[in-house]
Amino acid sequence: MAEVSESKRLWRTALIVAGVGVLVLVPLGWLALRMWDDTIQRRVIAANESAALTNLENIQAAEQLYFEANGQYGTFQQLIDSGVFQAQVSGDPPVASGYVFTVKVQPRTDTQPAAYSVNADPVRAGGRDATGRRHFFISSEVTGVRYHESRPATKDDRPRPKM
């Protein structure tokens, strides 16, 4: 009879230890999954920002080619229609790799030269589903890419350091 009660006590202890183990493993598993998701999201944001910078450099080159051929800078659609810029974009304004591209063209007048500016802003800049963190800017008036961490960038923002 003593063996039966000792066996029951052993089973009861084993069940308690297993229950505590499950209670500890569930939050640890959730935490590991969340950390993995954060790592993936950081990689997606880095890839989107890299693609945005590449697109901006390509737009800058296309604007120069378009200007040399036409004597003025082109809108996004004009660049694509002329064949000097090719990109996988959709929508109006164009969206590519989680970034919205806004092209502004100023025609040449008697008092001002022709000019262009392009903003690349994340579709979603905050939260766990952000498509990017930094906002970028290029124009015919500045050299290189300007950026800002929390708002659309302008020509007065810091230049992006070359890597």
Whole-prediction pTM = 0.77
The answer to whether the Cα torsion of 65, 70, 72, 76 is positive or negative is: negative
What confidence score (pLDDT) does residue 63 get? 93
Range of the domain at 18: 2-159
pLDDT in tens, the chain (163 residues): 556 688 888 889 988 988 888 888 888 888 878 888 888 888 999 999 999 999 999 999 999 999 999 989 998 888 888 888 887 777 778 888 899 999 999 988 889 899 999 999 999 888 878 899 999 999 999 888 999 999 999 999 888 877 5
pLDDT at 27: 86
Whole-number pLDDT of residue 38: 82
Handedness of CA 69, 100, 121, 153 (dihedral sign): positive
Q: What are phi and psi of 137, to 5 degrees?
A: -150, 135
Domain count, the chain: 1
* Contact indicator for 78, 63 with CB cutoff of 8 Å: no
User: Strand, coil or helix: what is 104?
Assistant: strand
Spatial separation of the C-alpha atoms in residues 33 and 62, rounded to whole Å: 43
